[in-house]
Amino acid sequence: MTVSTLVIGNKNYSSWSLRAWLLMQVAGIAFREVRIALYGAGAKQEILRYSPSGKVPCLVDGEVRVWDSLAIAEYLAERHPGLWPEATDARALARSISAEMHSGFANLRQHMSMNCRKRHPGKGRTPEVLEEIARIVSIWGDCRARSAANGEFLFGRFSIADAMYAPVVLRFQTYEVELPPACRAYADAMLALPAMKRWLADAEREVEMIAAFEMYG
């Protein structure tokens, strides 16, 4: 059986890469990791060897290439049952909030960029960012209220929705965003995942430092 390849960027910065990587790790889906240091000389050309869009993450599964984190998640869900919630209404909600995370929250991305190694307490809190944080808190609170009896993640057990919001958990840690108790408990559960700890440990060991526009999607 051929093992698929997941092409990712820097673990310290590549929030979009984290989504696919964490999902596959937590779900126990075997893959070979190819990390390409973004922004370095020849990085774009190296990424294009795998990803037609020139962006990461990209999943290479035999002759199939899937780029974009949400597309990768949907591709994996077709082959590995259980990555979305089982109930129809919960699955619809999970897909909706995942799509909202994927396409929205531009102000949060701009003013609270992902940097696992840093701490920026109090920074990035523009009125627009605070509005987006409030929306995320509302999403998390609603999901946890519906599924608290079934586990500690957004829909009880870990799902694609949690993978999609994993970078937000790390952003909130970097910028020390205060959260209500239910949301704090959820963020702590995400941070306690062994796979998340491995990602953060790898990020600490990276030597690249950047201050440029993100080129992952």
Is residue 115 within 8 Å of residue 209, measured between CB atoms? no
Angle formed by the axes of helices 69-79 and 15-27, to 10°?
A: 10
CATH at 73: 3.40.30.10
- 99 and 30 inside one domain: no
pTM across the whole model: 0.94
Q: At what angle do helices 194-205 and 160-174 cross, to 10 degrees?
A: 50
Note the pLDDT tens digit of each residue in 20-34: 999 999 999 999 999
How many distinct structural domains can be found in the chain?
Answer: 2
- Do residues 126 and 185 lie in contact, with contact meaning Cβ atoms separated by under 8 Å? no
The predicted pLDDT at position 135 comes to 98
Q: Confidence class of residue 213 from pLDDT cuts 50, 70 and 90?
A: very low
124-147 pLDDT, tens digit each = 999 999 999 999 999 999 999 999
> What is the per-residue pLDDT for 2?
82
92 and 188 belong to one structural domain? yes
Tell me which residue range forms the domain holding 167. Answer: 88-193
Separation CA 53–CA 67 (nearest Å)? 7
Nearby residues of 195 by Cβ (< 8 Å), 6 or more positions away? 21, 22, 25, 26
Q: CB under 8 Å to 156, separation ≥6 — which residues? A: 85, 147, 149, 150
Q: Exposed e or buried b for every residue in 62-91, given b needs 16+ CB within 10 A?
A: eeeebbbbbebbbbbbeeeeebbbeeeebb
